[in-house]
Amino acid sequence: METHMMTIGLPRAMLYYRCRALWHTFFEELGAEVVVSSPTDREILDQGTALAIDESCLSLKIYLGHVRALVGRCDYILVPRVSSFGRHRNMCTRFEALPDLVRNVFRDSGQQFLSYEVDELFKKDEPGAFLELGRSLGHPAKAVKRAYKQAKKAELAHHKARVQKQELLFKREGIKVLIAAHSYVAEDPYMGRSVTDYLKQVGVIPLRADLVDREAASKRSRELSPTCKWEISREILGGIAMHQGDVDGIILLSAFPCGPDAMVNELITRRVKGVPILNLVLDSQSGTAGVETRLESFIDIIRFKEGKL
Ligand code: SF4
């Protein structure tokens, strides 16, 4: 008799871009099959937009579209609640609301969801959260701890490899532009990917502020803001502090409407001097043509400044 392998759905949005190595390894180590929704396309965006309330940010709308694409295709869909990693280390409140929101939106779908909660301000740390998660799937504590250890190793190695790959790009000749964005904004095909693609197409080297050593970046972020309370924004600020002298321009890329980015990007614009900055806010209506026009003039400004135009 064929035994059913448990399938876990991972929406390819929001924290997936940060945690994919962690999640894939953890579930695979525990013998589950992982199903990932396909990259964002028009249908996913439209479905997500229809499910979300108007005030939702574009990232959240896209996220709901990805959950929708997985409904009925797996035993569980993973929707974690990640609130904080300690003092001044908060996640945006949308991450806090995610499991409740998703369960509510899909309450009639018959789909089961799986969650874990990280909120270190309330003594809920990640190892404990994963232990509970694995135990809830019926695995013994020892196996779960082993899977988490492997998953953490994979996560660190994955990030380190990406950081090292980018370090090489900093050494290349040519115009370099640092993109300051949440990973899920920067990498989503319907958000930041078109920006990176465009830059490459016109011979500019795109770099990412968040592809840096996270601990070091968090410390360096104090040079730009000693009080920023959002974990990911701190890493981005630190990445800018580390690399502002190595690039010809900075693009602040965010999803509309984003509370943390509105504040942090304003602060960056005021405190980072001597390098051209472009503030790009993407919504579902942005369209590539409008974005390309703004990118084109930004690159012209850089080239003009450097006497290359
Ligand atoms: S940080 Fe901004 S883009 Fe990300 S979930 Fe929060 S509001 Fe949305």
Sequence-separated (6 or more) residues with CB below 8 Å from residue 49: 61, 65, 284
Amino acid identity at 256: F
Q: Which two tokens stand for residue 24?
A: 């894939």
User: Does residue 261 have its Cβ closer than 6 Å to ligand 1?
Assistant: yes
State the angle between helix axes of 141-170 and 126-136 in degrees (0 to 180), rounded to the nearest 10. 130
Mean pLDDT in residue range 67-95: 95
Please state, in angstroms and as integers, the Cα–Cα distance from residue 95 to each residue in 63, 125, 154, 183, 232, following that order. 11, 16, 23, 14, 12
Residue 2's pLDDT band (cuts 50, 70, 90): low
**Residue, of 33 and 288, whose pLDDT is higher:** 33
Residue 16 φ/ψ, nearest 5 degrees? -55, -40
What residue ranges do the domains of the chain occupy?
7-154, 172-305
Q: With 0-12 CB in 10 A as exposed, 13-18 as middle and 19+ as buried, what is 192?
A: buried
Nearest to 143 by CA among 21, 276, 2, 26: 26
Architecture of the domain delimited by 7-154? 3-Layer(aba) Sandwich (3.40)
Is the separation of the CB atoms in 113 and 77 below 8 Å? yes
Domain 172-305 in the same topology as domain 7-154:
yes
Q: Which two tokens stand for residue 143?
A: 């196996």
* pLDDT reading at 131 higher than 80: yes
pTM for this predicted structure = 0.96
Architecture of the domain delimited by 172-305? 3-Layer(aba) Sandwich (3.40)
pLDDT at residue 3, rounded to an integer: 62
pLDDT at residue 284, rounded to an integer: 79
Q: Whose C-alpha lies nearest to ligand 1, atom 2?
A: 258
pLDDT at residue 289, rounded to an integer: 73
Mutating to test ligand 1, I would choose from 253, 261, 263, 281 the residue with most ligand atoms within 8 A of its C-beta, which is 261
- Distance of CA 260 from the midpoint of ligand 1 (Å): 7
pLDDT in tens, 219-251: 999 999 999 999 999 999 999 999 999 999 999
pLDDT at residue 88, rounded to an integer: 86
Read out DSSP for 234-269?
HHHHHHHHHHGGG-SEEEEEEESS-HHHHHHHHHHH
